[in-house]
Structure 1
Amino acid sequence: MGECRFKIERKGWDLPFLAEAEELAGLRRVVRLHLRLWGLPDLVDLAQLCVTELVTNVITHVGPGTPTTLAVSMNGAHLRLEVTDPDARALPTLIAATGEAEGGRGMALVDAVTERWGVIPRGDSKITWCELPTGLRSEGGHVENPQVAKAEALLTRHCGGVTPESQQCERLSVAVAEEAAIDLIADLLHWLRAHGCDPDEALDRAQMYFEAEPGAG
């Protein structure tokens, strides 16, 4: 039996900014927005922590107002975060900070929560990067859980009329799947009304169940 998957397009992006403490809240919001759009809400907190520490490292060791770039992309099944600044001399190092030390904790935090990190020196700049495991089977896949798998099976049939005997299936984009999901929800609401049920009440209950699931917030 062929296996159908709705491919998620996670196109990398970069954002130039000036390294200032006032920029950190905005950077965290941008990271949260993109990771939710990418279907990776469980990584938001760790990714925000990493971005905060990497940018704070630039502010502390290169200087406030430094032209900096944040880049977020996928490296296989890993989320990759990169912060580029124009100082190739001030290289981040992992320091075992003492209880009284004011510095040294930033990269220790990054080291603790990521799978790997490093620094790429260039002639006139450097890239400090880190990677977080996503739990994805592939770059364009989704995080596995029973609810998503069940919904995907329904959408696969709804989109293409796929039968259990099918051996091949076209990979469908999330945009196509979204329209199919809306259409399927509308059909289910018609079914509920035709059987004497209240569609609005059903939607409210479904929303309540969804928000109660881990990672839905």
Structure 2
Amino acid sequence: MSAHDAEGRAMTAPADLESPYANSITLVAVPTAVPVARMFVRALLEHWGVAEVADEVMLVTSELVGNAVKAVGFADRAPMTWEITARHVIGVQLRIVDAHLYAEVWDGSAALPRRQAVSLDTEGGRGLILVENVCEGWDVFRPDVGGKVVWARLPLGRKVVPTVAKFVLPHRVPGATSPPNEAVKGLATAALLQRVFDGLRAAR
């Protein structure tokens, strides 16, 4: 696994990042990104042997991906193919560190997510409130490549024994959610990978 920093220097992941404890996917910021991300989460957590937390992680990931779609994509409609540009790419990553699971979503917007004041009559706006109620904590990470990674940490209650089989999505991802630009896919990978490195440095 490798990426590049803001100056184009190669960043190579240490050996322990080649384990099945981290996996990511890049998607176009369209409405179907949310169900595709949910599929990715469920399949990956079953592969890791922690399916018991799938409902909570899918809920959190759905909210984070939905916010990313609103920030850089087409939240209310499916775009025509020619409308999709490099700026509409988002990255979704899951990681297990010790007995905690991290859900992380990158998008190219610098705008911060905001916790909205809602009432019983309000429709929507409860995304971050749901995330706060399910997670131990969440925050925003600013990668060197730009944009932001919004992350949330959930407790697993136990350490996970690594698997050795390679993870493969069980179904083909629809073409409409295939990112159009390899360079921007690299930005998503670099942003999420930098988040991994930052976590490793903080743990020292």
Task: Tell whether the structures are fold-level matches, with TM greater than 0.5.
Answer: yes
CA contact (8 A) 2:33 2:65 kept: no
Distance 1:81 1:11 in 2: 12
Aligned pairs for 1:4-23 within 5 A: 10-23=20-33
- Which position in structure 1 is the counterpart of 2:89? 67
CA apart distance, 1:175? 5.6
Maintained 8 Å contact 2:20/2:163: no
Matched, 1:134 2:156: yes
Equivalent residue, structure 2, for 1:94: 115
- Once the two structures are superposed, residues 125-157 of structure 1 have per-residue CA deviations (whole angstroms, 9 ceiling, x without a partner) of 100000110011x3x44xxxxxxxxxxxxxxxx
Instruction: Provide the rounded CA distance (Å) in 2 between the counterparts of 1:115 and 1:104.
Output: 20
Matching residue's letter, 2:58: Q
**Structure 1 residue runs without a partner (length 5+):** 1-8, 142-172, 177-217
Find the counterpart in structure 2 of residue 79 from structure 1: 101
My pick for the range that moved more, 17-26 or 107-116, is 17-26
What does 1:1-217 correspond to in 2, within 5 Å? 10-64=20-74, 66-88=88-110, 90-122=111-143, 124-136=146-158, 138=159, 140-141=160-161
More helix by share: 1
How many Å apart are 1:54 and its aligned residue?
0.5
Question: What's the offset of the Cα at 1:96?
Answer: 2.9
Q: Using the TM superposition, give the Cα deviation of residue 45 of structure 1 relative to its aligned residue in structure 2, in angstroms.
A: 0.5
Question: TM-score, normalised to structure 1's length?
Answer: 0.56
Q: Distance in 2 between matches of 1:86 and 1:46?
A: 26
Question: Does structure 1 conserve the Cα–Cα contact (< 8 Å) formed by 2:68 and 2:106?
Answer: no
Q: Distance in 2 between matches of 1:10 and 1:63?
A: 30
Measured in 1, the distance between the counterparts of 2:71 and 2:123 equals 13
Compute the TM-score of the two structures, normalised by the length of structure 2.
0.60
Any idea what the Cα deviations from partners look like across 1:11-53, whole Å, max 9, x if unmatched? 3011111111112222211111110111101111011111111
**What are the Cα deviations for residues 91-112 of structure 1, in whole angstroms up to 9, with x where unaligned?**
0122231223334211111111
Larger radius of gyration: 1
The question of whether the paired residues in 2 share the 8 Å contact of 1:53 and 1:106 is answered with yes
Q: Are the counterparts in 1 of residues 132 and 138 from structure 2 also a CA contact under 8 Å? A: yes
CA RMSD of aligned residues (A): 2.1
Secondary structure of the residue that 1:21 maps to in structure 2? coil
- In 1, the alpha carbon distance for the partners of 2:71 and 2:164 equals 43
Partner amino acid, structure 2, of 1:74: I
What amino acid sits opposite 1:24 in the alignment?
V
